[in-house]
Amino acid sequence: MTTDARIQLVRDATFVRLTTDGAITGSRGSAPDGLYVQDARHLSRWQLTVDGTDPVALVPAETETDDTAACVLTPEGTRDHPPAYTVFRRQSVGADTFTEHLSLVSNRPDAVSAHVELTVDADFADLFELRADGRRYGKPGAEHEIRATADGVRLSYRREDWHAETEVVCRPTPDTVTTARSGTRATARTLSWLVPLAAHGSAELRLTVHARPHRRPPRTAPAERAARQRTSVEVEGTDDLSLACVRGLADIDLLTIPATGVDGEGVHVPAAGIPWFLTLFGRDSLLTSYFLLPYRPETAAAVLSALAATQGERHDAFSGEQPGRIVHETRHGELAHFRQVPYGRYFGAVDATPLFLVLLHAHHETTGDPALAKRLETHARRAVDWMLTDGGLEQHGYLVYSPDPNGLVNQNWKDSAGAICFSDGTQAEGPIAVSEAQGYAYDALLRTAELAGGVWGDEAYAGRLRETAARLRERFAADFWMAEADFPALALDGAGRQVDALASDAGHLLWSGILDPQRARRVGRRLLEPDFFSGWAVRTLAAGQRPYHPLSYHRGSAWPHDNAVIALGLARQGLTQELRTLAEGLVTAAARHAYRLPEVLAGYDRSATAGPVPYPHSCSPQAWAAATPLALRTALDRT
């Protein structure tokens, strides 16, 4: 895949982004290149020269598989003096490794020598440093070291108890190793070879990069990992939806990372996406697992165990941790380790906790196995307690959040600043009660009541949860419904005012069941009208409103996973034609993206262009987008 003139390779929680001639330049911003393991850049420079010049790409890099790419390079030449040799370059990524294979082939009938140089550096930058947000983070006492070894070079970084390392192993070994400096610091090493080539002969260089991140958790053996990831229900067929499902399952495998479960066991869970989110995310992993349930119920079990293991235990204002709360994201980078960012275990999500309860019941419902629900009973009760207390149900009547000065302004799935807005574009002020989170809470209470009565043998607790759910549904109908628009408000602000932008969040209410059937069907039909439905997907905000922008992250773009939840809601409400229309748009969009749905699509109408317009900063692959075709298949099967 090529994005922003970058090639991206991924395998086993490791990924690399390269230029189209196979280089790493040390870029920053929206598409930084480099080799990444555990939130750190383990290669920031990897630049090849031949005969003292940058090679010319005869064939720019193309991916052969998800983890391998190849290109064809030559030294500079002219029509009368063509290049003396050609470089066939193949690069691949695996668990904590990056491998480069160079094959030099002589084009001449007499012997020649190729002068090959490779400049290498690792800045060990944290992903949060590389993002284009303008922030700078101090690193007192940080030490970089680069030194030659017997067969290559070793680059290391240390800051107090934090230590990471990158080693380059070369076959054959370099003829020379030279050092570039910036002040007193060695900034790069250049490895040089003088490679003899016989007449029309060839020679090979093989370079292997070993990344050694700080405190890497143990990895499961490949055979065991493959067994854990085996598809429980095969997807067959050659139609576009089936092909999108197969591609989605393959992308979930690419995004699968190791994590620690509730009793310390190793589990494998889907990370959120690449490049920024190759880590466990509460909301993303929960919805991804829900979409996969009929096909891979073991994914849900692993995610629930990993999230139970990171469930909040105390109050910490910096990270948003509260007892019983389910984590929003986990990070393993240097800045999180030193609490320069709150994301080591960050809890800034209003919806992950009820979704945890929804998935726990859905796993039991799908598999018929009560073992996991019994095992996680204490965690489920603590999650309910959070919803009632710190979550806000008892005090405010709803799940609420306030903007986090250390983290996210908004703590629902539309978590960008300004996403929860009035029709004039003004961001709502807290405590904010977003509509879809109330639906999740309602569903979570009812589902947990079923577990309490049917699995835990506590009918009194089940009764209390059902009563709480009924009162929430009654309040919601009174407070959120906008009579003039005949549509639910996006949210209530801290003063109880309806946040009146017309938004796709309303579609989630069809899935959770908090709306009465008549209103739910009217909402479902409204979402398929032209201002909402682009022809590819339902937009996050209906077009024609002041804050609408087709290239905004959450104020006019269209998200496949958002549409997957809407599709499941349309199926629940019996809106078969609307579901088929929505599914056709999404499946056609997938087919135009080689059956891989991106994280986000621009909101432009289908009639405007031959294919869906990409959102410029979209993650791909991305877990809940990858799982969307499976959710569509499930929704269609229910009608």
- Under the banding of pLDDT at 50, 70 and 90, the label for residue 276 is confident
Q: How far apart are CA 597 and CA 583, in angstroms?
A: 13
Whether residue 533 contacts residue 523, with contact meaning beta carbons closer than 8 Å, is answered with no
Q: How far apart are CA 544 and CA 494, in angstroms?
A: 26
Q: How far apart are CA 199 and CA 105, in angstroms?
A: 9
DSSP 244-270: HHHHHHHHHHHTEEEEE-TTS-EEEEE
* Each residue's pLDDT tens digit, 231-272: 456 787 889 999 999 999 999 999 999 999 998 999 999 999
Both tokens of 596, joined, read 């891989």
Cis? peptide before 431, omega within 30° of 0 = yes
Relative orientation angle of helices 560-572 and 517-527, to the nearest 10 degrees? 140
pLDDT value at position 233? Answer: 67
Q: Given a cut of 60, is residue 184 above it in pLDDT?
A: no
* Each residue's pLDDT tens digit, 103-150: 999 999 999 999 999 999 999 999 998 875 656 788 888 999 999 999
CA angle 383-384-389, nearest 5°? 100
Distances (CA, A) of 207 to 16, 168, 174, 288: 15, 7, 10, 37
Both tokens of 511, joined, read 């899935």
Region 145-156: mean pLDDT is: 93
Both tokens of 167, joined, read 């080693």
Both tokens of 234, joined, read 């095969």
By percentage, how much of the chain surpasses pLDDT 90? 84
Nearest in space to 596 (alpha carbons), one of 276, 280, 246, 269: 246
Whether residue 66 contacts residue 92, with contact meaning beta carbons closer than 8 Å, is answered with no
* Each residue's pLDDT tens digit, 20-45: 999 999 887 767 899 999 999 999 99
What amino acid occupies position 364? Answer: H
Q: What is the pairing mode between strands 56-65 and 487-488?
A: unpaired
Q: How far apart are CA 25 and CA 44, in angstroms?
A: 6
pLDDT value at position 186? Answer: 61
At 47 the three-state DSSP class reads strand
Strand order across the beta sheet in which 491-492 lies: 433-434, 491-492, 498-499
Region 544-555: mean pLDDT is: 95
- Under the banding of pLDDT at 50, 70 and 90, the label for residue 182 is low
Whether residue 38 contacts residue 216, with contact meaning beta carbons closer than 8 Å, is answered with yes
Q: Given a cut of 90, is residue 222 above it in pLDDT?
A: no
Q: Given a cut of 50, is residue 324 above it in pLDDT?
A: yes
Q: How far apart are CA 489 and CA 75, in angstroms?
A: 62
Q: Which helix (H) or strand (E) holds 627?
A: helix 623-637
Q: How far apart are CA 297 and CA 295, in angstroms?
A: 6
What amino acid occupies position 66? Answer: D
Range of lowest pLDDT (217-226, 241-250, 415-424, 570-579): 217-226
Q: How far apart are CA 489 and CA 497, in angstroms?
A: 9
Both tokens of 452, joined, read 């309490």
Burial class (CB in 10 A: 0-12, 13-18, 19+), 171: exposed
pLDDT value at position 229? Answer: 46
The strand pairing partners of 329, in sequence order, are: 281, 346
Range of lowest pLDDT (46-55, 211-220, 367-376): 211-220
Both tokens of 482, joined, read 């906008």
pLDDT value at position 225? Answer: 47
The mean predicted confidence, pLDDT, of the chain is 93
- Residue with more model confidence, 558 or 181: 558
Q: How far apart are CA 301 and CA 266, in angstroms?
A: 12
Phi/psi region, residue 524 (left: phi>0; alpha: psi -120 to 50; beta: rest), is alpha
pLDDT value at position 226? Answer: 45
Q: Given a cut of 90, is residue 620 above it in pLDDT?
A: no
At 539 the three-state DSSP class reads coil
- Under the banding of pLDDT at 50, 70 and 90, the label for residue 228 is very low
At 546 the three-state DSSP class reads coil
Cis? peptide before 275, omega within 30° of 0 = yes
Range of lowest pLDDT (231-245, 381-395, 431-445): 231-245
The strand pairing partners of 191, in sequence order, are: 118, 177
Whether residue 538 contacts residue 582, with contact meaning beta carbons closer than 8 Å, is answered with yes
Whether residue 382 contacts residue 432, with contact meaning beta carbons closer than 8 Å, is answered with no
Place of tokens 């008892």: 394
Nearest in space to 256 (alpha carbons), one of 531, 627, 537: 627
Place of tokens 């998200």: 559
pLDDT value at position 615? Answer: 83
Region 434-458: mean pLDDT is: 98
Q: How far apart are CA 578 and CA 553, in angstroms?
A: 25
CA angle 204-207-209, nearest 5°? 170
